[in-house]
A and B are shown apart, each in its own frame.
Chain A
Amino acid sequence: MTEPRHAPHPASAQAAHPHSHASRYLLVWGVLMALTATTWGLSTVHIPGGAGVAVALGIAGVKGALVALFFMHLYDQRGPNRLIFVTSLVFVALLVLLTLLDNATRFPLANPPDAETTPAGMRAGMEQRPAPARAKPAAH
């Protein structure tokens, strides 16, 4: 408590007189539990279009940010650690978005023939395929 609130490295947890983060942890935990209940509840409501995924990912993003910032202390850490984590997230976004964009913008027949995005006339029929037969475990 002898330290000013914004000492050079306040939560570099090795500080000489650390103050307790317990109340902050409990608050973050409460918000995380509430957001989990929210996203669970929202999943039972039908949200039109692709908005449902966007809402679910948005809530997950907020929860993830809370964990990273406060449980993992990125909030009060030095630059390099934050930079490393944020950089990894940039590459996650690049990998997921570019791969998705590739499949979303292909000539339809370049995707699997029974994909739901393939126009109905070109689709290898899901109906015609005797699905359970090919998947049944071998009889003894």
Chain B
Amino acid sequence: MSGNAALAHHFESLEKQAQAQRLGMWLFLATEVLLFAALFAAYGVYRWLYSAAFAEASRGLTTWLGGVNTFVLVTSSLTVALGLDAAVRGNGRRSGGLFFLSVAMGFVFLGLKAVEYQHHFASGELPGKFYAGHLGGSGGPLFYSLYFLITGLHAVHVIIGMTVLTVVGVKSWRGAYSAEHHTPVELAGLYWHLVDLIWIFVFPLIYLI
């Protein structure tokens, strides 16, 4: 059983090693969920306290950009899932190619996000004390503080996800994985799906008030 280089000596089999790696990844994803939960809790409280101002401030967002970004991210999740499907059957080239396609969609997502941010900077819809929009009171500044915190933290995760997908995609393309051992492909995919999962909640809460 010691013939496989991918198997660490303290694991009995690749299957057990994969289970342990998967478990570790899920633990990490749970902490990511809790990280975003804190921001969603803050959002919930301030939306409760300033519901009319939040609804009004949300009109400053370009809904179709957020909507298109949702379609882009969901589709990139599909290509990642199909990439894993290829890896499971030992087709590293196809798997890597599908990961690169997902990274390309990540660039589209970030590009549209940059267009949005540019628009907010131009119209003074900035967080906290930098807010120079048309809304009086604290509701507008609070909305844009939470908007930039949530979408900003999410964008950081998109960038990390794209990096991970690129690294794993390149290794996949070069034939580092096989039908028997492709756990990194699976775990990179899990991370990307979580990024998608969070955006699925961001879109209705931020854009569709």
Contact = CB atoms under 8 A, between A and B. Distances in A.
B136 A129 contact: yes
Interface stretch (B111-119, B153-161, B162-170, B192-200): B192-200
Contacts of A126: 136-137
Q: For chain A, what secondary structure do more than half of its interface residues adopt (helix, strand, loop), or is it mixed?
A: helix
Indicate the size class of the contact surface on chain A: 35 or more
Interface residues of B, number: 75
A41 B190 CA distance: 29
Nearest to B126: A135
B85 A89 contact: no
B7 to A, nearest CB: 12
Contact of A63 (B23, B190, B200): B200
Contact of A96 (B15, B40, B80, B134): B40
A109 interface: no
B23 A80 contact: yes
26 contacts: A12-B15, A12-B19, A13-B88, A14-B182, A36-B67, A39-B204, A40-B67, A60-B200, A64-B200, A67-B77, A67-B196, A72-B197, A77-B22, A80-B23, A81-B23, A81-B26, A84-B30, A88-B33, A95-B41, A99-B44, A103-B49, A129-B136, A129-B137, A131-B140, A135-B129, A135-B131
Q: For chain B, what secondary structure do more than half of its interface residues adopt (helix, strand, loop), or is it mixed?
A: helix
Nearest to B78: A29
A87 to B, nearest CB: 7
Nearest to B194: A72
Interface in B10-60: 14-15, 18-19, 22-23, 26-27, 29-31, 33-34, 37-38, 40-41, 44-45, 48-53
